[in-house]
Every structure is written in C-alpha cells, then in structure tokens.
Amino acid sequence: MAMIEKVLIANRGEIALRILRACREMGIQTVAVHSTADVDAMHVRLADESVCIGPAAAKDSYLSIPAILSAATISNADAIHPGYGFLSENADFAEMVEEHGFTFIGPSPDHIRLMGDKIAAKAAVIEAGIPVVPGSTGAVRDADHALEIGKEFGFPVIVKATAGGGGRGMKIAETRDDIADAFHFARAEALAAFGNGAVYIEKFLTKPRHIEVQVLADNHGNVVHLGERDCSLQRRHQKLVEEAPSPALNASQRAEIGEIVSKAISKIGYRNVGTIEFLFEEGQFYFIEMNTRLQVEHPVTEAICGIDLVREMLRVASGAPLGFSQADIKFSGHAIECRINAEHPETFLPSPGKVGDYHAPGGLGVRVDSGLYSGYTVPPHYDSMIAKLIVHGTNRNECLMRLRRSLGEFVIDGLHTSIPLHQKLMEATDFINGDYDIHWLGRFVEKSNDSDDE
C-alpha cells in the first residue's frame, strides 16, 4: 500500500476533529463530510475540503454509504477513517470502501464481521485463549449436577433456561445451599414459560468492573498491547469516566492479561487498533466483546503510553510496520477522561443549543478534545457528547487534583453539561479510593439526586 495522501473523515464532532489533527500533523490532506446540520462544525471549518453529504438525519448522511463513497470519489480521497459509531463497525461499509479502491483505516471487513457476531466472536476468542464467563455445555441433568457445576465455577452462579429470554426462567444461586432450589425453580419456570425445562448454568458476576485492553497490530504480524482502561463508571451502559491504568490491577496482572490478548490478536490475524472488553471480578477477566475501531476513551491510553493512536492507525493502514515492540512501551503516570455531554447533570435530559462563552482549561497535563467554540450551536440530531477532558498526572492522586482544578476552569455557557456531575464525582470517597464497579455510578447518581432534593 502506498502512503496515504488524502483522508476522508466519515464522522463528526470531537472525533472528526481528532482525526483531522492527526492527519494535519502527518501532512495528510483532509476531507470533511457533513450533514446540513454540521456546516458550522469546527472540523468542517478546519478541513482542507468539505462536502455536504445529506440532511441532518444520520441515516441520510453519516450512515449513508453511497453518499460517503461519492464524496470520497469527487474529492479524490485515497482513504476513509470511520471514527467511532456510525459506520465504524459496519463490515459491509469497510468492504465497499475497499472495493471502490479506497483504503479503510481500520481492521479487515472479515474481522469486523467476525467480532460483530456475538456467538462467532465468543467462539473465536475462546479458541484464541481469551477467558470468557464460564457456562455449562449442554443441559444440566439434575440438582446434583447443578451443584457439581456450581462448585466448578464458584458461587454465585445463575441458572438460565436454554429456551429463555426476557429474564424468565432465571435464578441466581448465591451459595451451594441455594443451588438445588435455584435449579428446580428455574426448571419449573422454564417449563411453564417456554414448554421446555432445559436449563444451563453460568458463573454470575455480582460487582464486576469493566476493564478493556487496547491492542495495536500492523499488517506484518507485529502486535502490541497498550495496557488497560477502566471504564466501570457507566450509567445505562454509557461510559462517563475512564481511567488508565485501572486502580484494580497491578503490574503483573496487567502484563498477564496483555500478553493473553496480544497472543489472541496475533492468532486471529487482526490488524489496526482494537479493544477487548472484559468484566473483571476477584482477579479474573471475562470477555464481553471486541470493539474493532478507535474508542472514545483512547486518549487515556495515549496519555500514559505517549503513543498517538490515530497516527498509528494511519501508519498501519498505509502499510507501515509498527515502529516499536512491546518492550518499548512504558506506562507513565495516570490519566482520567471525563466525557462532557450537553445534558442536564441530574435529569440527563439532552441540552442542545447555542454555546455562549466557551473557555477550555489549560496548563500542564490537561488535554481537551472538543469541536465547541463560542457561538457554535450544538445540533439536537446526534450524540450529546460535546467535549472530552483528559488529564494526566504522575500518579492517580495528582491526576484527581488536576481534574478538579481543570473542571473548575471549564466554561461552557448556554447549555446544561455534565461538568457539575463530574465535579461531584471527584469528591466521592469511593471514586477517590478507586473502589467502584459497573453498578456504582447508577447508584451514586440516584443518591446524589435524592440528597439534592432534600
């Protein structure tokens, strides 16, 4: 593959600006595509060229494959970066991009397709040596069999109807004393609900963390992992704060899971960036899924590794080999990202509209990725994330202090934003102690809103 000279950025918002910046720093020309609602977007203003590809509705613009490929054709782009969301994990899009003679800046369509199919993905990663949530194969015969399996996996476990769904025919057994009851209950309910009493057993995680491992692979067989990110601070499956390294891992656990993941990626033959997401509980990792794209939270990894992931994506896509091996990658300090959304910090109602004064925090260790500017109007059609504040410090405490300081300097007038929620979070003892799981944020928000109402 030849060096890429002009990239079409098939995305919007902060990530489009992120990609544009990386291109500009590599001397690569940029083409911004945008809907009619995004004509004033920062990255559209900054791009070398821009093409309007459709109306505000994403399905007719950012999700329209013909519009994007036509824009690439008329602008003579030679590669397309999909960003995240939209078409980034659409294998058909990746395939069509390549069929039309453009370079897709990401993994192969086959790998996107494989990881997009939950069952096939799980089978593939098991084969490649990645740990998954243990589950019984075939139906559980009787209560004794259930106990045997429960002891193998370790309690708690969950008994689930093979034909099940919608939460019926499911029962958790907290300890070995509960397993017989749970088995009989689940079987009876399964029989009543689905006419099929067959049940299977899975290990049940009560308070897992969400920890994901970033990988980077080239087309020449080189694979490295860039450590993990802890993304346990989620609410309704939306990540709000991410950090690296995870407060729950030590260096040997990091090296161990990293090596497992690198080997698996190598075996699967994956290329470009990717993330393996895990649940983590009591020292064990359990595969959730693989994201075959750049992630929102990639900057925390960049901060602790000193590696520009978008630059690496472009280099790998142009056929270049990685310029470093695993031994060259050093983790330095701690980084936290706060996602700042245009939404009410308590009700979470979206808050699009015109930005009044805008002033981003500055100084040592502070990075802001945002397409906002004073006078910009946040359109109501898309995701509410309007800025990312990424802070780096030599250790987690320094990082937290810097985050407090910079959240206090951040001015986004005219909209409700999640800044006040982040400020509350930074004062929460559990968060300060790194003591949280994937359920923690939901409870924190509820409690915090309740106490505000008093």
Partner 1 sequence: MAKQPKPDIDEKLVRKLASLMEETGLTEIEYGVDGINIRVSKSANIAYSTAPVAAPAVPAAPVALEQTTNAAAHPGTVKSPMVGVVYTSSDPDSPAFITVGDTVSEGQTLLLIEAMKVFNPILAPKAGRVTQILVESGSPVEFGEPLVIVE
Q: Which residues are catalytic?
A: 293
Nearest to partner 1 of 231, 399 (CB atom)? 399
How many CB atoms lie under 10 A from the CB of residue 60? 14
Nearest to a second copy of 155, 324 (CB atom)? 324
DSSP 8-state secondary structure symbol assigned to residue 199: E
Report the nearest approach of a second copy to the CB of residue 368 (Å): 4
User: How far apart (Å, rounded) are the C-alpha atoms in residues 342 and 348?
Assistant: 9
Q: Which amino acid is at 222?
A: N
Which of 181, 207, 373, 380 binds a second copy (CB under 8 A)? It is 373
Nearest to partner 1 of 221, 408 (CB atom)? 408
- Give the pair of three-digit tokens for residue 408: 């206090």
How many CB atoms lie under 10 A from the CB of residue 132? 17
- Give the pair of three-digit tokens for residue 1: 């593959």
Nearest to partner 1 of 144, 409 (CB atom)? 409
Burial category of 454 from C-beta neighbours within 10 Å (exposed 0-12, middle 13-18, buried 19 and up): exposed
Name residues contacting a second copy, limited to 392-411 (CB under 8 A): 394, 398, 401-402, 404-405, 408-409
Q: Which among partner 1, a second copy, none contacts residue 241 (Cβ within 5 to 8 A by kind)?
A: none
Q: Which among partner 1, a second copy, none contacts residue 369 (Cβ within 5 to 8 A by kind)?
A: a second copy
C-alpha separations of 130 from 108, 206, 207, 265 in Å: 21, 21, 21, 10
Point out which span in 216-224, 286-294, 345-353, 362-370 binds a second copy (CB under 8 A). 362-370
Report the nearest approach of partner 1 to the CB of residue 223 (Å): 35
User: How far apart (Å, rounded) are the C-alpha atoms in residues 403 and 391?
Assistant: 6
Point out which span in 97-105, 149-157, 302-310, 429-437 binds a second copy (CB under 8 A). 302-310
Closest CA to 164 of 134, 138, 186, 137: 186
Summarize as ranges the residues that interact with partner 1 (CB under 8 A): 24, 36, 40, 42, 44-55, 61, 66-67, 69-71, 73-75, 353-354, 356-357, 359, 361, 373-376, 404-405, 408-411, 413-414
Q: Report how many residues bind a second copy under the rule CB under 8 A.
A: 38
Preceding omega of 156 cis (within 30 degrees of 0): yes
User: How far apart (Å, rounded) are the C-alpha atoms in residues 226 and 356?
Assistant: 38
Report the nearest approach of partner 1 to the CB of residue 247 (Å): 25
CB 336 within 8 A of CB 300: yes
Name residues contacting a second copy, limited to 327-346 (CB under 8 A): 332-333
Strand partners, 242: 337
- Contact between 189 and a second copy per CB under 8 A: no
**Footprint of a second copy (CB under 8 A):** 17-18, 21-22, 24-27, 46, 299, 302, 306, 308, 332-333, 357-360, 362-370, 373-374, 394, 398, 401-402, 404-405, 408-409
